[in-house]
């Protein structure tokens, strides 16, 4: 017979909260029902219309102490149904216990694991020292601009009195569990290359294409150096270097017309060791080299967020590690290669750890046939049942 926790997980997965233009209403109704089943208050905040933030709170014995935030996001990325062997919103479970659905790893699993761990703790009579806040936020998968990024600057967030946050990590195909204490800064950049327009049969001076070539060469040369750095040192992971990828080129109307401007867009993820001012100055020097009018605009530009220390100076980490050591968990600490809502929490001075208790599982977030095995899912609840009281009782 299927456990209630797995049933709740599969029910949540069947809500198609898929980007873009998410209707969060069904998620709200589901989470309100979960709060009611826990006999806990549930509040809905809307910093941006139709972008609700759900907060379920469990008051601690000493509510004036800084609280613990357990954050997850409700939205999931788009799917290509024809590439799936199961309907991506059916939450089908096969004979091996693998549950197939978009969001099974990223990250509806963690949201339900929080809920089920709290359910076990609360109904076993345990009373935690610090207040817990379970937050379910919108739009993480499109950058979090209308979700956590704005929420952390509101009075409603400040009143939660957060001292420490847990958020998503990533699956691990080995026995290890991966833990993230920082992440690279996302810079989505558009380089505008204006030039002399005209007929495609002539040899115009200072064309957009000539400038574009210089810009692409400089970005790709930098990319190659970072790639070589990563390949030369087996102790490094992709989160330790700056990645640059050319993602879009725009401009032109037809083959025989030289355009007045071409644009090239890059996705850059700046390593935590990168000086942002120096990196910006380097790009501006490339624009100057390319020629007059070449300039940079930002589509997204994240500030440099602090890395959460993993040493004795951080009592939250000490408590987390003590609990994980007691369970004999093999933990590997890394810098997150992408971007999560933790970066916004760290930017306002709150230590945050990214951790999804998923091991022995292929990494399938954003991939076709995303799945999580029910045994691994249930083990994750066991893990949170130990970690949550450890950090809440420091």
- Distance (Å, rounded) from C-alpha 232 to C-alpha 234? 7
SS (H, E, C) 313-332: CCHHHHHHHHHHHHCCCCEE
The phi and psi torsions of 64 (rounded to 5 degrees) equal -80, -15
Which one of 249, 282, 301 terminates a domain? 301
The answer on 153 and 36 residing in a single domain is yes
The answer on 112 and 97 residing in a single domain is yes
- Distance (Å, rounded) from C-alpha 308 to C-alpha 176? 20
pLDDT at residue 79 in the model: 97
Residues in contact with 248: Cβ distance below 8 Å, sequence separation at least 6, in sequence order: 263, 264, 265
The answer on 96 and 48 residing in a single domain is yes
Which residue is catalytic, options 116, 140, 146, 240? Answer: 140
The answer on 170 and 65 residing in a single domain is yes
The average pLDDT across 248-262 equals: 98
Q: Could you tell me if 301 and 355 are in contact, meaning their C-beta atoms sit under 8 angstroms apart?
A: no
Task: Find the Cα–Cα–Cα–Cα dihedral 121, 127, 129, 132, rounded to 10°.
Answer: 50
| CATH code for the domain in which residue 202 is found | 3.30.70.360
The answer on 110 and 239 residing in a single domain is no
pLDDT at residue 247 in the model: 98
pLDDT of 237 strictly over 90? yes
The average pLDDT across 4-25 equals: 98
pLDDT band, very low/low/confident/very high, at 305 (cuts 50, 70, 90): confident
- Distance (Å, rounded) from C-alpha 216 to C-alpha 196? 19
- Distance (Å, rounded) from C-alpha 390 to C-alpha 394? 7
Cis peptide before 235 (omega within 30 of 0): no
| CATH code for the domain in which residue 116 is found | 3.40.630.10
Q: How many CA atoms lie within 13 A of 391 on its CB side?
A: 27
pLDDT band, very low/low/confident/very high, at 262 (cuts 50, 70, 90): very high
Environment class of 221 (CB within 10 Å of its CB; exposed 0-12, middle 13-18, buried 19+): exposed
Which tokens is 303 given?
A: 């500030």
Residue pLDDT, tens place only, 56-96: 999 999 999 999 999 999 999 999 999 999 999 999 999 99
Separation in Å, CA 341 to CA 76, 167, 240, 344 = 14, 8, 19, 6
- Distance (Å, rounded) from C-alpha 189 to C-alpha 192? 10
The answer on 159 and 59 residing in a single domain is yes
Q: Report the number of distinct structural domains present in the chain.
A: 2
The answer on 163 and 35 residing in a single domain is yes
Average pLDDT of the residues of the chain: 97
Which tokens is 287 given?
A: 């624009």
pLDDT at residue 172 in the model: 98
The answer on 179 and 316 residing in a single domain is yes
75 counts as catalytic = yes
The answer on 156 and 22 residing in a single domain is yes
DSSP bridge pairs for 68: 132, 164
What is the distance, to the nearest Å, from the Cα of residue 224 to the centroid of all Cα atoms in its chain? 26
- Distance (Å, rounded) from C-alpha 339 to C-alpha 277? 20
E strands in 210-360: 243-251, 257-258, 261-270, 295-301, 331-336, 352-355
Whether pTM > 0.85 for this model: the answer is yes
140 counts as catalytic = yes
The answer on 64 and 39 residing in a single domain is yes
pLDDT at residue 338 in the model: 87
List the one residue out of 111, 107, 93 whose CA is nearest residue 31: 111
The total of other beta-carbon atoms located within 10 Å of residue 242's CB is: 22
Residues of the domain holding 238: 185-271+273-301
The answer on 258 and 243 residing in a single domain is yes
The answer on 159 and 111 residing in a single domain is yes
Percent pLDDT > 70 in the chain is: 100
Residues in contact with 340: Cβ distance below 8 Å, sequence separation at least 6, in sequence order: 140, 167, 168, 180, 183, 354
What is the distance, to the nearest Å, from the Cα of residue 69 to the centroid of all Cα atoms in its chain? 16
Residue pLDDT, tens place only, 335-377: 999 899 999 999 999 999 999 999 999 999 999 999 999 999 9
Separation in Å, CA 208 to CA 26, 193, 216, 258 = 49, 5, 12, 8
The average pLDDT across 215-227 equals: 98
């Amino acid at each position: 017979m299927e456990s209630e926790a797995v049933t709740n997980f599969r029910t949540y997965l069947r809500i198609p909260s898929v980007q873009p233009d998410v209707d969060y209403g069904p998620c709200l109704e589901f989470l309100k029902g979960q709060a009611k089943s826990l006999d806990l208050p549930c509040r809905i905040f809307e910093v941006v219309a139709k972008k609700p933030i759900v907060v379920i709170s469990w008051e601690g014995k000493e509510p004036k102490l800084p609280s613990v935030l357990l954050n997850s996001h409700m939205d999931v990325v788009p799917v290509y149904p024809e590439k799936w062997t199961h309907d991506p919103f059916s939450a089908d479970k096969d004979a091996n216990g693998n549950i197939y659905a978009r969001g099974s790893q990223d990250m509806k699993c963690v949201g339900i694991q929080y809920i089920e761990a709290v359910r076990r703790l609360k109904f076993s009579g345990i009373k935690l020292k610090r207040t817990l806040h379970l937050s379910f936020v919108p739009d993480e998968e499109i950058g979090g601009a209308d979700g956590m990024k704005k929420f952390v600057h509101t009075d409603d967030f400040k009143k939660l009195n957060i001292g420490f946050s847990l958020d998503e990590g990533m699956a691990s195909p080995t026995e290890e569990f991966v833990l993230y204490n920082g992440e690279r800064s996302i810079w989505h950049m558009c380089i505008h290359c204006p030039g002399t327009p005209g007929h495609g049969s002539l040899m115009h001076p200072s064309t957009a294409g000539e400038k574009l070539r210089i810009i692409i060469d400089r970005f790709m040369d930098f990319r190659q150096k970072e790639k070589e750095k990563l390949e030369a040192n087996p102790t490094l992971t992709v989160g330790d270097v700056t990645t640059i990828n050319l993602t879009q080129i725009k401009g032109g109307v037809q083959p025989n017309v030289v355009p007045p401007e071409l644009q090239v867009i890059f996705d850059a993820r700046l390593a935590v060791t990168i000086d942002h001012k120096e990196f910006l100055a380097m790009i501006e020097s490339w624009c100057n080299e390319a020629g007059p009018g070449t300039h940079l605009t930002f589509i997204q530009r994240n500030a440099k967020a602090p890395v959460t220390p993993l040493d004795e100076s951080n009592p939250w980490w000490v408590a987390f590690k003590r609990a994980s050591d007691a369970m004999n968990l093999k933990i590997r600490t890394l810098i997150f290669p992408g971007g999560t809502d933790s970066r916004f929490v760290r930017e306002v001075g709150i230590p945050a750890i990214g951790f999804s208790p998923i091991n022995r599982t292929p990494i399938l977030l954003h991939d076709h046939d995303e799945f999580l095995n029910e045994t691994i899912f249930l083990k994750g609840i066991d893990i949170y049942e130990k970690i949550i009281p450890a950090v809440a009782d420091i």
